[in-house]
Structure 1
């Protein structure tokens, strides 16, 4: 009986950590489109924009989490969860889920990554893998101290 409960818990954590909060949305008002300010502002060089708003660190954090998750290095991936998510998932449940994901899908590399929104210590990130079911849309991340943390729990 305990094996079934643990298996169900592992499956639930795996499902949540791979697909949590994968909604879609552009952030633009569907009735009015992008704001007039956004339309009148000249497009900045993506590298300049990333450096200015800290998204370089966010992108690095997302890639590091993904690398650890599919390594599988559960302890490293767990350390990249927000405090809220660490409170929701104990390492003993999270670790088997990470191992199962690596076993089921093998080493996965992020193919494309877009920071959809980053402001006030909160961000939404979309990224894709070769296995479409693993791809994420609008995944939440939060800034804790000076470190971006996965916050999809």
Structure 2
């Protein structure tokens, strides 16, 4: 599958979310969207990233921007993760990995000499028309949510 690039229209999705219900990208038409893909609920980096986005959520909202996190974890796992860390950003579950694949973030990874498939931590900033404005591949968590917020403010 071809990599998505800046200027491309972001693939829509309709997936279950934490707390019940479903989320689709099209329901946020007219708002900017930060879509952050992360490997696994309640792991060190993913927790730090989700907390950082939660702490800045009011500032994203003030900039008319919705923040959505997505991983292949189940809704049940997301619910536990949200409760444990008092998260307020939307968490979407893609257990089938169709959206993860559509965005090109479901990749072969390696650790300790073994290869496996997993999510490459990546963030997409979508403009109000649903086009990709900026992509952060292979995200390093420290300072990332602030960088994304600065990019949102520059839209």
Calculate the TM-score normalised by the size of structure 2.
0.26
Calculate the TM-score normalised by the size of structure 1.
0.27
Determine which structure has more spread, i.e. the larger CA radius of gyration.
1
